[in-house]
Amino acid sequence: MSTTTRQDTGVAPGGEQRARSGAVTHAKPPRSGMLLSLLAWVVGLLFALPVFWMVLTSFHSEADAATNPPSVFAPLSLEGYRTFFGSDPWPALLNSLTASVLSTVLVLVLAFPAAYALSIRPVRKWTDVMFFFLSTKMLPVVAGILPLYLFAQKAHLLDNIWWLILLYTTMNLPIAVWMLRSFLAEVSVEMLEAAEVDGASLSRTLREIVAPVVMPGIASAALICFIFSWNELLLARVLTSTVAATSPVYLTGFVTSQGLFLAKVCAASLVVSLPVLAAGFAAQDKLVQGLSMGAVK
Amino acid sequence: MAPSTSPAADLAPAPGGAPAPAPGPVATTPRARRDGDVVGLGRARAVAFVAPALVLVGVFLVFPAAWTLYLGLLDYSLTGSGAQAPVFVGLGNYTSALSDPAFAKSLYLTLLFVGGSAVLGQNVLGFSLAWYFRAAQRPVRATLSVLVLLAWILPGSVVAFLWQALLDRRNGTLNALIGTTDMAWALDHPMAVIIVFNIWRGTAFSMLLYTAALSTVPRSHLEVARMAGATRWQQLRDVVLPTVKRHILTNTLLITLWTFNDFSPYLLTGGGPNRESEVLPVYIYKEAIIGGHLGYGSAISLLLLLANLVIAVVYVRLLRTREPEAA
């Protein structure tokens, strides 16, 4: 609200050098700055509240978990985890792992060459190809799910993990191509030309010039694909039942049957969330870069 | 266009193309990248690189959507008379959808949902957080973005359970926290619940995108504006917003489409009570998967698809008109 002229003198000395790190207004007007900070923290804590509740409750006994308002300082217990792992969630967890990892690998194997060809050597018409990829991001999953279901039924692919792997691969391909392309656009043309003049082979060019620049892009694309596949619920719910059910499907079933036992379900939820939490925070900055670059460029 | 492998071909257009105030090869690189074969990949190899991805997307993403178009013309059900021999009914499904008050209501609720939670909610909150982060210290910014990101990254199944527990009538934490007893939030205010839920769930994306966008605003421009005595608000309106216009458009398009196709309200309210929160994806799911009316469900899917297309076209138009400015 109130920026004062006082700031001009306040910012001038340090401002220029710290070009990236910082804010323009270091000398905040004290009161409104405090209020803003307070507000931001309240918003942040509200966002995390359900997650804190989940973590806390998962380590409580059922009796303590059932009290309302939540008993924050109740003694910790692993009862919930014991019951959850006692219910044999391993096939579902393993299915999720298989589907997410394999589909992510497949996505990268398919998306990288495509993105490379599209960004390093786009024939002019290939902008259309890029837009084709982008446009498929607009297809609602619900709209395509009926044919996918009917086809799987005919081909005896219902409740088959490979069908899910294939679909997750397809689902994540467009976004991966877009992300990788935006990273590949950063590769210096001069370097590529120099490599060509030197007679470097394609594989050598890829390894020594392209890979170093694109590695962060590949990493963030991989993480995003992993997270999307791990979290996917609608396709898994419709196309699998017992054999190929993934952990989100297992969890929804668990909530239905055990919903009143909060500690158990919270423990289950936390276990199912751990892989994506790990993936997300392992590369938070890259995640940001990958998503926003893929989206904007 | 010719499959030339010579770098000279890339340099050739430069003298004629640009009357060159800036000498040197620098000016030619963007063109070269766009038109030429920089590394001698060769057309055949380039096509081979793209083809597998293209085929997969075509077969498993685009073809099902096209099939949906066809199914929408049939009277096709999982049970009953339509199950054995689907009958061709032409546009019958579409006319019955368009005259069905339940569809109209669902469409209205979807617009409310998209407008309230994405276009307004996520956009404004995400931008505000990003704007606040500019002036915040690094640890504060990092901590807060992690907190907000949690909601975005968790599996939908987990998130749905957490909200059910939070909003529960008897044991819900929300009732305990704000002292209301026996308030059945999901029943009494279903639309408000799914809108707040989606803001909570999706704001992280806008926040991240705008944080990246705001870092591209040249500091010198802001400095100049401040010297000229512009208030915070004027800086925002006259310097920042024009610079990040494209980001705002892109972000709005993406979150609009995602919210439009979002199925998670089903996990919270099941579309109820009495269809009070039955947004289009939920409507389709209930009609087609639960009710077994495949033909009818497909017809509505196609209408949803068309709505998406209209949004995308409007967006591309808006983006095109900005391009000369940005380039």
Given B88, B123, B156, the domain boundary residue is B88
Comparing A66-70, B89-93, B311-315, the range with the smallest average pLDDT is A66-70
Top-confidence range, A61-70, A250-259, B314-323 = A250-259
pLDDT level of residue B126 (50, 70, 90 thresholds) = very high
Q: Which residue of B has its CA nearest to A106?
A: B53
CB–CB contact B71 A251 (8 Å) = no
- Name which of A28, A121, A260 to mutate to probe chain B: the one with the most chain B Cβ atoms within 10 A of its Cβ: A121
Q: Is residue B209 part of a domain?
A: yes
Q: Are residues A49 and A98 in the same domain?
A: no
pLDDT at A235 over 50: yes
CB–CB contact B53 A177 (8 Å) = yes
d(CA A230, CA A223): 10
Q: Which residue of A has its CA nearest to B245?
A: A296
Q: Is residue B2 part of a domain?
A: no
CB–CB contact A142 B263 (8 Å) = yes
In this predicted structure, what is the pLDDT of residue B84? 62
Higher per-residue pLDDT: A27 or A243: A243
Q: What is the pLDDT of residues B72-125, one digit of tens each?
A: 888 777 666 556 667 777 788 888 888 888 899 999 999 999 999 999 999 999
d(CA A74, CA A212): 50
List the single residue in B49, B53, B208 with the smallest CB-CB distance to A288: B208
In this predicted structure, what is the pLDDT of residue A276? 92
List the single residue in B35, B38, B200 with the smallest CB-CB distance to A124: B35
Given A17, A37, A58, the domain boundary residue is A58
Given B61, B88, B115, the domain boundary residue is B88
Q: Are residues B192 and B322 in the same domain?
A: yes
pLDDT level of residue B70 (50, 70, 90 thresholds) = confident
pLDDT at A94 over 90: yes
pTM (2 d.p.): 0.80
Q: Are residues A52 and A97 in the same domain?
A: no
A280 neighbourhood in chain B, CB within 8 Å:
149, 153
Q: Is residue B26 part of a domain?
A: no
CB–CB contact B38 A192 (8 Å) = yes
A269 neighbourhood in chain B, CB within 8 Å:
157-158, 161-162
CB–CB contact A292 B304 (8 Å) = no
CA distance B1 to chain A (A): 7
In this predicted structure, what is the pLDDT of residue B122? 94
Q: Are residues B81 and B118 in the same domain?
A: no
pLDDT at A246 over 70: yes
> What CATH number did the domain enclosing A224 receive?
1.10.3720.10
CB–CB contact B46 A170 (8 Å) = no
- Name which of B73, B157, B177, B250 to mutate to probe chain A: the one with the most chain A Cβ atoms within 10 A of its Cβ: B157
Expressed as residue numbers, the domain containing B130 is 100-326
Q: Is residue A65 part of a domain?
A: no
Number of domains in chain B: 2
CB–CB contact A142 B143 (8 Å) = no
Indicate the average pLDDT of chain A: 79
Q: Are residues A52 and A184 in the same domain?
A: no
d(CA B155, CA A231): 4
User: Within 13 A of A274's CA, how many CA atoms are on the CB side?
Assistant: 9
* Alpha carbon A145 to its chain's center: 22
Q: Are residues A22 and A162 in the same domain?
A: no
List the single residue in A44, A50, A170 with the smallest CB-CB distance to B60: A170
pLDDT > 90: what percent of chain A? 21
pLDDT at A206 over 70: yes
Beta-bridged to residue A87, according to DSSP, are none
List the single residue in B36, B134, B219 with the smallest CB-CB distance to A19: B219
CA distance B82 to chain A (A): 15
pLDDT level of residue B12 (50, 70, 90 thresholds) = very low
Q: Are residues B79 and B113 in the same domain?
A: no
For residue B150, what are its two tokens?
Answer: 């949690």
In this predicted structure, what is the pLDDT of residue B274? 80
Higher per-residue pLDDT: A130 or B81: A130
Q: Are residues B178 and B208 in the same domain?
A: yes
The conformation of residue B261, written as its DSSP 8-state character, comes to: T
B33 neighbourhood in chain A, CB within 8 Å:
120, 122, 185, 189
Q: Is residue A69 part of a domain?
A: no
In this predicted structure, what is the pLDDT of residue A99? 94
List the single residue in A132, A135, A293 with the smallest CB-CB distance to B312: A135
What mean pLDDT comes out for the span A42-64? 88
> What CATH number did the domain enclosing B175 receive?
1.10.3720.10
Residues contacting A239, CB < 8 A, separation 6+:
A148, A149, A152, A158, A159, A163, A164, A167
In this predicted structure, what is the pLDDT of residue B168? 74
pLDDT at A171 over 60: yes
pLDDT at B198 over 90: yes
Q: Are residues A119 and A263 in the same domain?
A: yes
Q: Are residues A149 and A40 in the same domain?
A: no
pLDDT at A20 over 60: no
CB–CB contact B41 A121 (8 Å) = yes
List the single residue in B29, B61, B261 with the smallest CB-CB distance to A170: B61
Given B88, B113, B144, the domain boundary residue is B88
Apex CA A61: angle with CA A57 and CA A66, to 5°? 65
Q: Is residue B219 part of a domain?
A: yes
Apex CA A38: angle with CA A32 and CA A43, to 5°? 125
Q: CA-based diameter of chain B, in Å? A: 78
Number of domains in chain A: 2
pLDDT at B186 over 80: no
pLDDT at A275 over 60: yes
pLDDT at A88 over 80: yes
pLDDT at A74 over 60: yes
What distances in angstroms separate CA B247 from CA A103, A139, B112, B322, one per listed residue?
30, 22, 23, 12
In this predicted structure, what is the pLDDT of residue B111? 93
Cis check: omega of the bond before A212, within 30 degrees of 0: no
CA distance A71 to chain B (A): 11
In this predicted structure, what is the pLDDT of residue B129? 93
What mean pLDDT comes out for the span A101-129? 81
pLDDT at B63 over 90: no
In this predicted structure, what is the pLDDT of residue A168? 93
ipTM for the whole predicted complex goes beyond 0.90: no
Is the sign of the CA dihedral A139, A144, A145, A146 positive or negative? positive
The conformation of residue A136, written as its DSSP 8-state character, comes to: H
For tokens 């803001």, name the residue: B199
**A138: helix, coil or strand?**
coil
Q: Are residues B83 and B105 in the same domain?
A: no
d(CA B272, CA B284): 14
- Are the beta carbons of B50 and B32 closer than 8 angstroms? no
Indicate the average pLDDT of chain B: 78
B63 neighbourhood in chain A, CB within 8 Å:
147
Comparing A28-32, B176-180, B215-219, the range with the smallest average pLDDT is A28-32
List the single residue in A70, A167, A296 with the smallest CB-CB distance to B247: A296
Q: Which residue of B has its CA nearest to A205?
A: B39
In this predicted structure, what is the pLDDT of residue A288? 64
Expressed as residue numbers, the domain containing A46 is 2-58
What per-residue string of b and e applies to A231-246 under the rule 16 or more CB within 10 Å gives b? bbbbbbbbbbeeebbb
pLDDT at A103 over 90: yes
Q: Is residue B291 part of a domain?
A: yes
Q: Is residue B35 part of a domain?
A: no
pLDDT at A227 over 80: yes
In this predicted structure, what is the pLDDT of residue B273? 82
A111 neighbourhood in chain B, CB within 8 Å:
53
List the single residue in B165, B231, B263 with the smallest CB-CB distance to A234: B263
Q: Is residue A79 part of a domain?
A: no
Q: Which residue of A has its CA nearest to B247?
A: A296
pLDDT at A165 over 90: yes
pLDDT level of residue A127 (50, 70, 90 thresholds) = low
Mind giving me the DSSP string for A180-235? HHHHHTTS-HHHHHHHHHTT--HHHHIIIIIHHHHHHHHHHHHHHHHHHHHH--HH
pLDDT at B136 over 60: yes
What mean pLDDT comes out for the span B144-160? 90
B288 neighbourhood in chain A, CB within 8 Å:
145-146
CB–CB contact A193 B39 (8 Å) = yes
